[in-house]
Every structure is written in C-alpha cells, then in structure tokens.
Amino acid sequence: MVIDLSPFYGANTPFDRLFESLWPAMSISQRSMAYPPINIGEDDDNIYVRCEIPGMDIGDLDLTLTDSSLVIKGERKAVKGKYYRQERPTGFFQRVVNIQAAVAREKVTASMRDGVLEVVLPKSDESRPKKINIEAV
C-alpha cells in the first residue's frame, strides 16, 4: 500500500482550478485520475487485478490478455435525465496493466461481484522460483 503524506498531495493550483472551471471533465478519458481504480497484488501462485466498476454490465466490458499486459476496456453509458450533480463519469475507458511475469493463459479467470471485477492470473511454472538442491561431491 502506498500512502502519500506530501502536503501537496491532491492540491490544485489556482491555474488548475481555472482550467477545470473553463473546461470541465465531461468524460472518463478527460479525468485527471485513472479510471477504473485498480488494485494489483500477488502471492506465490497468482497475480490479482481488482478494479471497481459499479453499475457496469459484464457484457459492456472487454478483457484482453497479451504477452505482457492485461487490457480492461469498457463503456459506461449515460443514463438520460436531468442532473443537478453528476460525479459518476460516463464514456469509454481503458486501463492497461503491465504484467512482469509469465502467466498460465489457459487458467486465467475473471469474475464480477458487487461492482468489483477480479481477474486472477496464475503464474506459469517458468516464472515461479525454483529451489536448487546442492549435491556434495
């Protein structure tokens, strides 16, 4: 876990506030923060990618695994109506998670529960540490 205790963390300069007031962020791609927020973790056997995408249908998401990355794509459709305040972003989004270990591609699983998408990437045998026995000669 990373905690930034810097006094300037999250602080906007007057120029930033002026820019945001003139051109407000209307879609996910224009946000200053990456969307969807993700957590990446691992243990000896797996790499875990969890991202929060509340209110999304599974059919609106696309997961692609390449040799070195996992790509999470989707589109949050705007609900028609009159809003007094809208903080949940709408539009197309894409996150690319770089993977630095070999993955057993045939064993990858993805599930979604309570708005949290979890992708489990099992590490292949080649990427796991191997203990070497020493023989006395």
Residue 94, domain member (yes or no): yes
pLDDT band for position 100 (cuts 50, 70, 90): confident
Count Cβ atoms below 10 Å from residue 128 Cβ, excluding itself: 11
Residue 3, domain member (yes or no): no
Q: Is the pLDDT of residue 117 over 80?
A: yes
The answer to which of 19-23, 26-30, 42-46 has the lowest mean pLDDT is 26-30
Which is it for the CA torsion 112, 63, 107, 121, positive or negative? negative
pLDDT band for position 96 (cuts 50, 70, 90): very high
Residue 28, domain member (yes or no): yes
Residue 1, domain member (yes or no): no
pLDDT of residue 110: 96
Report yes or no: 133 and 109 within 8 Å, Cβ to Cβ: no
- pTM comes to 0.68
Residue 84, domain member (yes or no): yes
Residue 113, domain member (yes or no): yes
pLDDT band for position 5 (cuts 50, 70, 90): very low
Query: How many domains would you assign to the chain?
Result: 1
**Of 61, 112, 57, 54, which is closest to residue 87 (Cα–Cα)?**
54
What share of the chain in percent tops pLDDT 70?
Answer: 77
Residue 74, domain member (yes or no): yes
The residue-averaged pLDDT of 56-65 equals 91
Residue 112, domain member (yes or no): yes
pLDDT of residue 26: 52
pLDDT of residue 80: 85
Q: Is the pLDDT of residue 56 over 60?
A: yes
The enclosing domain of 119 has a CATH number of: 2.60.40.790
Which range of residues forms the domain containing residue 66?
Answer: 14-126
pLDDT of residue 67: 85
pLDDT of residue 6: 45
